[in-house]
Amino acid sequence: MALLPKAACTTVDWQKRDSVRARLRNLVRITLRRHKYPPDMQETAIALVLSQAERLSDEWSDVD
């Protein structure tokens, strides 16, 4: 079994592909609805969750 470099394991293609980003947005929206999050605040929450995920992904891929 070959081991991949750590950076290769943490590279997330959802930052590059719109279809994957759209799927993540839908999953976040479904989760917010399931937990009865106010509908008028959902777009802001979705944007916040995606920006946090991007920052975490950047940090994880930069760690050597």
Asked if the structure places residue 8 within a domain, the reply is no
Give the total number of structural domains in the chain.
1
Q: Domain of 52?
A: 13-62
Classify residue 19: in a domain, yes or no: yes
Query: Is residue 39 a contact partner of residue 14, using CB atoms and an 8 Å limit?
Result: no
Report the pLDDT value the prediction gives residue 6, as an integer from 0 to 100: 53
45, 32 contact by CB (below 8 A): yes
What predicted TM-score, i.e. pTM, was given to this entire model? 0.67
Look at residue 1 and tell me if it is in a domain: no
Q: Phi/psi at 63 (nearest 5 deg)?
A: -70, 130
- Of residues 54 and 46, more confidently modeled: 46
Please tell me the predicted confidence (pLDDT) of residue 7: 53
In-domain check, residue 3: no
- Tell me if 56 is assigned to some domain: yes
Q: What is the DSSP string of 1-13?
A: -PPPPHHHHH--G
Whether the predicted pLDDT of 21 surpasses 60: yes
Q: Is 26 part of any domain? A: yes
What letter represents residue 57's amino acid?
S
Q: What is the pLDDT of residue 59?
A: 78
